Amino acid sequence: MFIGNITASGAGRSSVVAPDHFQAPFNIGIVAKVTGTITFSIEYSMGDPMSAGYAAASQTWVAATGFSGISATTGGSLTVPCRAISVNVASGDGSVVVELIQAGPV
């Protein structure tokens, strides 16, 4: 199941995407393509972005294993069940596009 793409540039948090946290086993394929110079982390949160009053800034975000302080094109997976995924750009004037695909029944 295609979750979506996250595009980020400039310091700060990107938009948030919501995976299906009920999938078992939980597994999301991640590919991050970097253009220019940028340092970023792919992070997840247990906060529900579909709930009333949700604010990404007030959530507790954790860098996914292997996705902290990245500055080059990379790929991997996220296997921790979560409700929100976002990109946090630390520095740089480049951009990153993160593609997320979640495994699950067809």
Under 8 Å between Cβ of 85 and 19: yes
Q: What is the pLDDT of residues 32-68, one digit of tens each?
A: 999 999 999 999 999 999 999 999 999 999 999 999 9
Domain ranges of the chain: 2-102
pLDDT of residue 5 exceeding 80, the answer is: yes
Q: Which fold has domain 2-102?
A: Jelly Rolls (2.60.120)
Q: What is the pTM of this model?
A: 0.93
b/e burial code for range 45-80 (CB count within 10 A of at least 16 → b): bebebeeeebeeeebebeebeebeebeeebeeebee
Tell me what the mean pLDDT of segment 82-99 comes to.
97
pLDDT value, residue 1: 76
Residue with token string 């940028």: 38
Tell me what the mean pLDDT of segment 6-25 comes to.
95
Under 8 Å between Cβ of 5 and 99: yes
Helix, strand or coil for residue 22?
A: coil
